[in-house]
Amino acid sequence: MKIVFSKYYTAVSPGHVFRADKFEAALKLLLKEGVVLKKDVLAPEEPSKADLLLAHSPGWVNKNLNFKFTAEDGAKAELKITRGVARAHLMNVGGTILAARLALENGIGVNCGGGSHHAFHDHGEGFCLLNDIAVAVKKLLKERRIKRAMVIDLDAHQGNGTAAIFSGDKRVFTFSMHGAGTYPEKKEKSSLDIGLRPGTGDAAYLSALGRELPRALDKFGPDLAVYVAGADVYRNDLLGGLGLTVEGIKKRDAFVFGECRARGVPAALVLSGGYAKKFSDTVRIHANTIKTGARFA
């Protein structure tokens, strides 16, 4: 299985709860375990200005490409935006574009990174500057590689930026299952929002997913699914507020990949959030998700 990763994903942000090195650590773990071979790791290209403009405003694209951020931009995104951080977010967009292409070719495409679902059309939020999910989907729609796409967002937090960007676009179905009382305080309207109580564990979570996702897939019939597989649903996550076990997350992932494959829907994986008390737990969960995807490739 091919896996997309760029060395530029690993931006240094000392003391920040979002550790960008988790993606590289997950890849190293997969290489060590022989799940992925070095020859199968593909480096993405930087997205073009035209690519970014598919989902973002000219002003915001200019800030990202020319490093023209203001202090207010950093405050909104809750990030210290260094050149390394800006480049990481840019390259993650390229990574998700490539993963989506691989999904169409092979059935499964994996970006060992990505999932910046809090980035809006004209600003960043929630540690996200550019919405790689929206850019990738809009690019494939523009190229007429697909006619309909579904974003299956199972990060612990609502994909508010993605929902806002695709609001009113009948070609894209945004499915978000998240903690009802967690960030963001102001939720956007997805095509389907499933808000969960704090501490929701494996049984209740998997029951809701098993009830709602097949119904949405059957009704909408996408040509591509982008699976936002946040590790922050883990019960020992600092920011997630939910109560899944590692085994429960494995079952979540297997269910999503299985439902997509059963319908012949190509799936592009992005990893998104993960802030476990033990960094190694986040890394293991991300690696497990990719390993599960490999079973369906």
User: What are the strands, taking DSSP E only, across 9-133?
Assistant: 41-42, 108-110
Inter-residue contact 244 to 255 (CB < 8 Å): no
Inter-residue contact 232 to 75 (CB < 8 Å): no
Residues 6+ apart with CB under 8 A from 197: 179, 180
Inter-residue contact 270 to 114 (CB < 8 Å): yes
Q: Is 172 helix (H, G, I), strand (E, B) or coil?
A: strand
Q: What residues form DSSP beta bridges with 185?
A: none
User: What are the strands, taking DSSP E only, across 16-57?
Assistant: 41-42
Q: How far apart, in whole angstroms, are the C-alpha atoms of residue 149 and residue 222?
A: 5
Which one is catalytic: 118, 157, 178, 286? 118
Inter-residue contact 191 to 174 (CB < 8 Å): yes
Tokens of 91: 């390259």
Q: How many CA atoms within 13 Å lie on the side-chain side of 295?
A: 13
Is residue 89 flagged as an active site residue?
A: no
Which stretch of DSSP H or E encloses residue 161? helix 160-165
Q: Residue 75 class from Cβ within 10 Å (0-12 exposed, 13-18 middle, 19+ buried)?
A: exposed
The 10 Å Cβ neighbour count of residue 278 is 10
Q: How far apart, in whole angstroms, are the C-alpha atoms of residue 105 and residue 264?
A: 12
Say how far residue 79 (Cα) sits from the centre of its chain: 18
Catalytic residues: 118
